[in-house]
Amino acid sequence: MRYSKLFLPTIKEVPAEAEVISHKLMLRAGMIRKLASGLYSYLPLGLRSLKKVEGIIRQEMNAAGAQEVLLPMVQPAELWQESGRWEHYGKELLRMKDRHERDYCLGPTHEEVICALVRHEVRSYRDLPLNLYQIQTKFRDEIRPRFGLMRSREFIMKDAYSFDVDDEALDKTYQAMYRAYCRIFDRCGLNFRPVEADTGSIGGHASHEFMVIADTGEDIIACCGSCDYSANVELAPALSDEPGQDAPDEAMRRVHTPGKRSVEEVTGYLGISPKCLVKTLVFTSDKGPIVALVRGDHNINEVKLKRLLRAERLELADNLTVSSVTGGEAGFIGPVGLKGRVRVIGDNALKGIKNFVTGANESDWHLAGVNWGRDLAWPEFSDIRLITKSDPCPRCKGGIEFKRGIEVGHVFKLGTKYSEALDVTYLDEAGVARPIVMGCYGIGVGRTVAAAIEQNHDENGIIFPRPIAPFECVISVVDVTDEAMMSAGERLYGDLLESGFDVLLDDRRERPGVKFKDADLTGIPLRITIGRRIKEEGRVELKLRTQGKGGATSPLLDDAAAEAAVIFKAMDHMGSALK
Ligand code: ATP
Ligand code: MG
């Protein structure tokens, strides 16, 4: 590609709304442009990178035995009603009607559609296993689209769905997908970690998320400092034992806490430790209203609570519901004297607590000296809080550390949830119809590129890992009006193209400083500069994007293509920083 013909609008200033570095750099480097909230146009440079990621995904998915298909993006409501998700998926599902007033949605995921396909085509165990994937645009009406391609509403996903005869066969497919994912993210040059993840309301089946380690990640990973345990905090069990307190029972009493609502305000005002306070949260769910209790210094884990309830939907209740369940207002609510019958779940850490403080369900008042069994019924206890640094590693009892991560991929054992709902069966060897055992496997293509930039950049711009760089090499001709320089550039450009490199010839009538800046900004791994030395010594200069001022080599023009090949080969054998 010739730079003079390339649609590559780089910019110096970035819109204020771009918060994270990948979003800023993708805008500045002319990779993407925003159309509307969460909707982006991919420009040539951005699309090239996405296509490289897709190419790696395709190779690895095909090698692992999956086959590519392409399913419709517009999906009929009937299918979603069959799976029960038309009601439960919530507002991320963009629904619409056609001219006949029939309901449809834009696919946020494709379990329903793939089941509709497979149930008509797969008859017997002989047709299994089957693993189908697609690389396609998804639409999710995210509540908070942000960070550019990281969390957009329209985005490209690779999604695969596997079909097996039983759990054992699914285990094998799952392992193969897991390994393929490791290879994919390795080849993309990412520092990533597979972590145990929540399986939602399905429960019981395994799931792993592939997390790119980055400070800007929206997910938090709990890692063990001693063993290789790592899990999404949403999932990690909180196991610390709380010894029962053996203080004598105090009398329950009302304490005045005017305007003190938060844990800090109440405990500060009363001069007690947050460990002595019971925090009360009211949720609404498809299983009815729920009251959840956690210790003042702990935080509720909604994912655990949702799983415990086997709920499809769980959200914090609005003020009206809070007061109808408790009789109090937010900040002053507590579990004593709740209105009517409501399920109350206490966190395990509250089992041994005595003489605690909690809201009195009356504005500006709390209760102190509260005890289970005497002042209120014992609640149901379960692990419903977020793990903390003081909890032991669930595997080896070592210390827990927290890291931030960007979820780029997700593998999931679905079991028979969808095959049962959508009647996807096969006949076994005895001719008995059985539900097919499924798995699903997603990768966000745009998010992978954004995550790579989060991990690989400096103050001058992107430092692309070579396998996903839009171009592998740029030839910067210092003065295009100089015939010797330009003809050397053309010659080298031809040589490199012939050797199969993705090369950009910077043939613009621009100052060399501008060219070098743009080459740095766009993160092209290797720059070959053709300047005055071509005339004096017949030499060019090769410089890696990862190198500072020093470290450049200056081979003869005739050797430059071969030297580039050697450099790339060396890069392929090195760590992610040089890939
Ligand atoms: P998240 O928790 O980040 O919303 P998810 O659990 O909803 O992700 P999946 O349904 O597992 O995501 O989708 C598979 C992959 O698609 C994710 O691992 C991620 O890489 C990508 N993805 C999901 N939502 C978005 C989005 N809004 N924008 C870009 N990529 C996304
Ligand atoms: Mg999501």
Q: Is the CB of 349 under 6 A from ligand 1?
A: no
Q: Are 230 and 348 in contact (CB under 8 A)?
A: no
Distance 301 CA to ligand 2 centre (A): 17
Query: Confidence class of residue 578 from pLDDT cuts 50, 70 and 90?
Result: very low
Residue 437 has pLDDT above 60, yes or no: yes
Burial of 174 (0-12, 13-18, 19+ CB in 10 A): buried
Cα separation, 171 vs 414, whole angstroms:
11
Residues 6+ apart with CB under 8 A from 501: 472, 473, 564, 565, 568
C-alpha closest to that of 527 among 450, 452, 461 = 461
Do residues 144 and 151 lie in contact, with contact meaning Cβ atoms separated by under 8 Å?
Answer: yes
Which ligand lies nearest the alpha carbon of 414? 1
Single-letter amino acid code for the residue at 2? R
Return all residues near 156 (Cβ < 8 A) that are at least 6 apart.
50, 54, 135, 136, 137, 138, 444, 445, 446
Q: Compute the residue count for the chain.
A: 579
Query: Is the model's pLDDT at 579 over the cut of 70?
Result: no
DSSP state of 149: G
Indicate the average pLDDT of the chain.
94
Which is nearest to 260 in space by CA: 331, 190, 201, 318? 331
Residue nearest to atom 11 of ligand 1 (CA): 410
Tens-place pLDDT, residues 161-188: 999 999 999 999 999 999 999 999 999 9
User: Please, which residues have CB within 8 angstroms of residue 89's CB and are 6 or more apart in sequence?
Assistant: 80, 108
For the ranges 13-22, 339-348, 498-507, which has the lowest average pLDDT?
A: 13-22
Q: CA 126, 131, 136: angle at the middle one, nearest 5?
A: 145
The structure's pTM equals 0.89
SS3 at position 66: coil
Please name the helix (run of DSSP H) or strand (run of DSSP E) that holds residue 326, with its range, or none. Answer: helix 319-326
Interval 80-104: pLDDT, tens: 999 999 988 889 999 999 999 999 9
Instruction: Say if residues 393 and 229 touch (Cβ distance below 8 Å).
Output: yes
Pocket of ligand 1 contains residue 444 by CB under 6 Å = yes
Strands 253-256 vs 278-285: parallel, antiparallel or unpaired = unpaired
pLDDT digits (tens, 9 = 90+) for 485-526: 999 999 999 999 999 999 999 999 999 999 999 999 999 999
Phi and psi at residue 405, in whole multiples of 5°? -145, 160
pLDDT of residue 199: 75
The residue written with tokens 């050397």 in the block is 488
Do the beta carbons of residue 402 and residue 387 sit within 8 Å?
Answer: no
198 lines ligand 1 (CB under 6 A): no
Of 32, 40, 157, best ligand 1 pocket probe by most atoms within 8 Å of the beta carbon: 157
For residue 577, pLDDT over 50 is answered with no
Residue 200: predicted pLDDT: 63
Q: pLDDT tens across 198-216, in order?
A: 876 555 568 999 999 999 8
For ligand 1, atom 3, name the residue with the nearest CA. 407
CA distance 380 to 287: 16
Q: Which residues contact 454 (CB under 8 A, 6 or more apart)?
A: 20, 21, 22, 212, 214, 216, 406
- Give yes or no for a contact between 476 and 519, defined as CB atoms under 8 angstroms apart: yes
pLDDT of residue 13: 87
Beta strands 503-506 and 473-477 are parallel
Is there an atom of ligand 1 within 6 Å of 155 CB?
Answer: yes
Q: Which residues have C-beta within 8 Å of that of residue 101, sequence separation ≥ 6?
A: none
Alpha-carbon span 315 to 289, nearest angstrom: 10
142 Cα–ligand 2 center, Å: 7
Residue with the smallest CA separation from ligand 1 atom 29 is 151
Taking the CB of residue 262, how many other CB atoms lie within 10 A of it? 11
Task: State the Cα–Cα distance between residues 348 and 174, nearest whole angstrom.
Answer: 33
pLDDT one-digit tens code per residue, 91-142? 999 999 999 999 999 999 999 999 999 999 999 999 999 999 999 999 999 9
Report the pLDDT averaged over residues 274-282: 97
Cβ of 545 less than 6 Å from ligand 1: no
Q: Any idea which residue has 């592998």 for tokens?
A: 472
